[in-house]
Structure formats: structure tokens, C-alpha cells
């Protein structure tokens, strides 16, 4: 069942709301996923409300430049991104959501290092 969550970066400069059913998170095995340590959950565009203008965030792209990773310019945290394999969706870093018991959410391991 979907719930509404409040999210932010560490310093609070980047804020967002998301409606999600946190029935799982995804953790990838590629170099950026391992280093970032995010717990990812994809949502439809209608289910996320970015309250900070995207122009206020830093943008990072790599490899095919399809994925769009948004970072806080102040604290460096990545609260959300547009994933390469589903660029029409958003991926939320569940670690940035308030009031979530991270240990209660099943983790799906992805072999993103093997994706084209």
C-alpha cells in the first residue's frame, strides 16, 4: 500500500515528497552503486514531488549519459535520480526518507555491472 514520505538530503536544502509502496529496495553491484550505497526504489513521475528546483542541484551523468543523478550542491547527497534502464521513471534513495525502518524492507540485488 502506498504511503506518502517526506525526503531530503543531509543538510535539508533538497526536499521532496514521494508516494510509494516500499515493498523492496534495489542495490546494484556496479562501481557507482557500490560507492554510493543507496537503497533504490523506482516510482512513477506522478508519485514524486520535487520541492527544490532541479536547477539548484548538481547533475552527474556517465557511461551512456542516459541516467541522470541529482546531488545536493551543499552536502553531496543523492536523494533521487532518473535510471538508465527506465529513464521515464524516478529512483528514490530510500535512505533519504523520514520514518522508514530500513531493516524491514527486502533487498533485491541487481547485477547492473552486467547490463549493456
Q: What is the pLDDT of residues 42-56, one digit of tens each?
A: 999 999 999 999 999
pTM of the model: 0.92
Rounded mean pLDDT, 73-87: 95
**Quick one: average pLDDT of 68-95?**
96
Quote the cell numbers at residue 75: 552536502
Please report, for residues 74, 75, 76, 114, the alpha-carbon distance to residue 43 in angstroms, rounded to integers and kept in the order given: 25, 24, 22, 23
The CATH number for 3-111, chosen from 3.40.50.920, 2.170.150.70, 3.40.1280.10, 1.10.1530.10, is 2.170.150.70
C-alpha 77/C-alpha 72 separation (Å) is: 6
How do the domains of the chain map onto residue ranges? 3-111
pLDDT in tens, 4-44: 999 999 999 999 999 999 999 999 888 888 899 999 999 99
Amino acid at each position: 500500500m502506498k504511503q506518502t514520505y517526506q525526503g531530503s538530503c543531509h543538510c535539508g536544502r533538497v526536499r521532496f515528497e514521494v508516494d510509494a509502496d516500499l515493498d523492496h529496495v534495489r542495490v546494484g553491484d556496479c562501481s557507482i552503486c557500490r560507492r554510493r550505497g543507496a537503497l533504490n526504489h523506482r516510482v512513477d513521475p506522478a508519485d514524486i514531488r520535487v520541492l527544490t528546483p532541479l536547477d539548484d542541484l548538481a547533475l552527474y551523468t556517465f557511461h551512456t549519459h542516459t541516467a541522470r543523478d541529482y546531488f545536493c550542491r551543499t552536502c553531496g547527497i543523492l536523494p533521487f535520480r532518473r535510471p538508465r534502464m527506465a529513464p521515464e521513471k524516478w529512483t528514490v534513495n530510500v535512505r533519504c526518507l523520514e520514518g522508514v525502518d530500513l531493516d524491514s524492507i527486502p533487498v533485491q540485488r541487481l547485477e547492473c555491472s552486467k547490463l549493456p
